[in-house]
Structures are given as structure tokens and as C-alpha cells.
Amino acid sequence: MPSMDKCPLCGSERTRLEHKTAGTSVRSCAVCELLYRFPQPSDEDLEALYNSHYTKEKMANNRPGGASPENVLRQHLDLIDRFLLPLKGKSALDYGCGAGSLGRVAKARGMDVAGVESNAHAREHLIKTGLFPVYKDTHELSTSGKRFDLIALIQVLEHLREPWDDIGKLAGLLSPGGCIYITTINSRGLNITVNGFHRRELLKMEHLYWFTYKCLDALCKNAGLDRTIRLRNAVADTDRGPALYVSQTMLSRFDLAGSIKIGVKR
Ligand SMILES: [Zn+2]
């Protein structure tokens, strides 16, 4: 877990308090631009929180708490296919697969899919569906001997306790020429800045980190990966009308969109 006065990513002592409310705070690092929650919630608190997202009712509707709509997931795969890796016939690992919505979309494109999900409720639900193999963690997965052309973390990085560790382990599961795709909250996005960190993010206790492009580069370097490709194309829920997509396209040009996206190769 992060300490109060050292950046957990780069180790710098140039950190300061950014936001605070009862029981939680967010600190920033002046060197690598990481924002991190301090203290992090306990394992028990996080498990209870995720269990409330992954109820049977929510999973039956394929929309457990916070899951991206399928049109958004298709846009992410289109970006990967266009800029990082032709996806047809390739293998994919959905890391933090939740109730399996990305896997469904990837399978529909003819990909060979597997998932990793740490929440037991979500994992058991997926295993029952028989949709694709699901593993508890990278350790369990590594015993299968599988390797992947694409490893995707879609709005997952901010949930991990030590995401640089996860990325380092995942890099070891890539096939030759494969890539890791990461998309996460942009800590300098216009929405988060204007609408206020307090209202949008501080109380989402499952969010432990917030990133900028510079910070994602540092994280990948920390995990031994230095070939990062920044993707500045918009992704937005088209069910919410065209205005959102247009605004995200404009904001992406100035790194002010709601999310940031990178591809990483070994
Ligand atoms: Zn730092």
C-alpha cells in the first residue's frame, strides 16, 4: 500500500495532499503526475463493494456496476485493430473481465478469449455461462501456459493495488508481437476538472489511482516496458447521442477527454 509521503510509483518525496474527506484523501506526485488514494480501503471493504456491483440481478442484465456499454467496447477494439494489432483470429486476455462484456464483443469478432477476474461472484457467474475460460489471477493463468496477442485493461488500472506489478506480470504473458492495451480515467480530463474531483471520484472508494499520459509511460517503464503508443482518438457512448462523441473528439486533441488510452509493446 502507498505510504503517506512517497510516491508509490516513482518513489519521489515531492507529493502533496490534493483532496480530502472523512476517512480518505488523494495525494499527487509532482514528478510522475500520479494521483493516489491514501489510505487505500481494506481488502474486506473492497470485496464488499465489488460484491455489491456483481449481484445476480445486475449480472443477468450484463451491466454490473460501472461496466462499459458494448458500443464503447467495440470502439476500443476498433482502435486497437486500426492502430496497434489486426485482431482477426487473434487471442485476447481481458484482465479484470467482470461479468464478461468485453469477452463477448471480442468473441463476436472471431477472437479466442480468456479472462482474469478476482471477484469470486463475477468469476463464478462467468464460469457457469461457459463463454470463455476465466482465471482468478495471473498466477493461476500462468500455470495454463497460455500466451496472448492482446491483453486489454479497460477501465481496470485505477482499481489495482499496485498496477505496475500487474503490468509487469502481464508483459510475461504476451505472445511475440503482442500488445497490452490500457484505457483509464484521465486525471486531467475536463469533466473531472470542472465538475470537481470531490463529487465524481473521491467517494468512489474502488478507484485507487488516477493517471495522465506521462504517468502511464512512467508506469510501463517501471514494469520494464518502454514502447508505449498514445492513442488520442475519441471513444464515447453513442447511445448518449452524437454531441458526446463530438465533444470527446475535440477534447482528445488537447488530452482533456475523459479517458486516456495507450498501447504497450515489449
Ligand atoms: Zn511519482
Centre of ligand 1 to C-alpha 187, Å, is 14
Cα 168 to averaged position of ligand 1 atoms, centre (Å): 18
* CATH fold for the domain made of 43-185+220-265: Rossmann fold (3.40.50)
Compute the distance from residue 256 Cα to the ligand 1 centre, in Å: 21
Q: What is the pLDDT of residue 138?
A: 96
Residue 93 Cα to ligand 1 middle (Å): 28
pLDDT in tens, 169-211: 999 999 999 999 999 999 999 888 887 777 778 889 999 999 9
Q: Distance, CA 208 to ligand 1 centroid (Å)?
A: 14
pLDDT at 248: 85
Ligand 1 centre distance from Cα of residue 32 (Å): 4
Residue 159 CA to ligand 1 centre (angstroms): 18
* Average pLDDT score, the chain: 91
Average pLDDT for residues 237-260, to the nearest whole number?
Answer: 87
- How far is the centre of ligand 1, averaged over its atoms, from the C-alpha of 213 (Å)? 13
Give the rounded distance of the alpha carbon of 84 from its chain centre.
17
Report the C-alpha gap between 188 and 204 in whole angstroms. 17
Average pLDDT over residues 220-247: 88
Cα(14) to ligand 1 centroid in Å equals 8
What's the CA-to-centroid distance between 38 and ligand 1, angstroms?
14
pTM: 0.94
Separation of alpha carbons 255 and 252, rounded Å: 5
Separation of CA 18 and ligand 1 centre (Å): 14
Q: What is the rounded distance in angstroms from the CA atom of residue 119 to the CA atom of residue 115?
A: 12
Q: pLDDT tens digits for 46-61?
A: 999 999 999 888 887 7
